[in-house]
Amino acid sequence: MYAESVDELDALDTATRQYRRTEGAHEKSREAVTTAVTAALRAGRRPTDVAARSPFTETYVRKLARQHGIPDYLLRRYPAARGELDAVFPAWHDAAQAIGALGCGLEDQEYVGGVLWLGLTHKGDHDERTRVIVDRLTRWATRDGGDASQVARSVGAVLDDHIPEQDR
């Protein structure tokens, strides 16, 4: 039994030496892949497609996007979303512009439009749909800090002024 333990420890020593020899190259490759992943996300590629071509999981790709300030563009991810949003809320650009004017980091109209689509097509009543929109926009706007309650109130006030009457 002792001889087996020595053989196992020798194998561990060999594997550890190999790991340490290749650790620098592995880290350099990981940095290169991370750079390529974030570049693809910034170019508007869908996180699912990016993850499929990288060694990272979809969850990790989405985490990288958040860490690098790259929003989840739902209007790009779901091909039918833009048409659905235009149909249920033709004046969504006005609402997105008003939300962007709040000065809380929500100036990206395409991102805000995707969140509006997500909320307005969400199951539930008006209050639930509004909550979905406010929660998601507030999380994004305050991801690096900030007064979440103030952002939520401000976004909610804009939505009250802009959400279509038929959704109330």
Are residues 40 and 115 located together in one domain of the fold? no
Q: How far apart are CA 139 and CA 154, in angstroms?
A: 13
Are residues 78 and 157 located together in one domain of the fold? yes
Are residues 13 and 82 located together in one domain of the fold? no
Are residues 102 and 156 located together in one domain of the fold? yes
Are residues 146 and 88 located together in one domain of the fold? yes
Are residues 79 and 120 located together in one domain of the fold? yes
DSSP, collapsed to helix, strand or coil, labels residue 11 as helix
Q: How many domains does the chain have?
A: 2
The residue among 46, 67, 88 that closes a domain is: 67
Q: Which amino acid is at 157?
A: A
pLDDT of residue 4: 57
pLDDT of residue 46: 86
Are residues 62 and 82 located together in one domain of the fold? no
* pLDDT reading at 62 higher than 80: yes
pLDDT of residue 123: 87
Mean pLDDT of 59-78: 90
- The secondary structure of the chain in percent helix, strand, coil, rounded to multiples of 5, reads 75, 0, 25
Q: Which domain holds residue 98?
A: 74-167
Are residues 31 and 95 located together in one domain of the fold? no
Query: Tens digits of per-residue pLDDT, 16-53?
Result: 999 999 999 999 999 999 999 999 998 888 888 999 99
Which stretches of 54-125 are DSSP H helices? Answer: 58-67, 74-77, 81-88, 92-100, 109-120
DSSP code at position 103? -
